[in-house]
Amino acid sequence: MSAELVFMMGDFEARFPTDRRYAKNHMWAAPLRDGIWRLGLTAYAVRLLQDVYFLDLVLEAEMRIGERQEIGSIESKKAESSLYTPVAGTVVQTNADLLHDPTGINLDKYGQGWMYEIAADAESAASRLLSPEDYLEHLTAAWEVAQRTIKGQANA
């Protein structure tokens, strides 16, 4: 794997490879070839979810999807959430293995835990996706909000 950056979530280290881009909705996007991107959930997202056990993607190859379009849902020990694509494009393929057994998201988030591939316009992807350094800056603000939310839930 490439070099990594680290974001501390309390005592937990969330690691981020520097060979890809990131979205504010805590997805990573790795460039594969000629405008094809592979997407998955970041260590930050997986840590907040904890123990993903169900993934449903409503994507098919050659399907056109818009930026921020709902693409499925994910369930875990901590939450059930809808998933949204950070960039517009055409679906190339989904990770069928994860649809049968989503534990790859927990075990290998930046490898076998990828969810789908998309052919995206380079300009659109560049404008929507953050560099690893910019994503870490975004996490600093997001973590403050997450901690307040977690503390609020613990006090409810």
CA atoms of 83 and 41, how far apart (whole Å):
10
pLDDT, mean over the chain: 90
Residues contacting 110, CB < 8 A, separation 6+: 1, 17, 20, 28, 30, 40, 43
pLDDT tens, residue by residue, 91-112: 999 999 999 999 999 999 999 9
Q: Give the confidence band of 150 by pLDDT, cuts at 50, 70, 90.
A: low
What pTM was computed for the model?
0.89
Q: Does domain 4-151 have CATH number 3.10.180.10?
A: no
pLDDT tens, residue by residue, 35-79: 999 999 999 999 989 899 999 999 999 999 999 999 999 999 888
Q: Give the confidence band of 156 by pLDDT, cuts at 50, 70, 90.
A: very low
Domain ranges of the chain: 4-151
Closest CA to 7 of 147, 132, 103, 128: 132
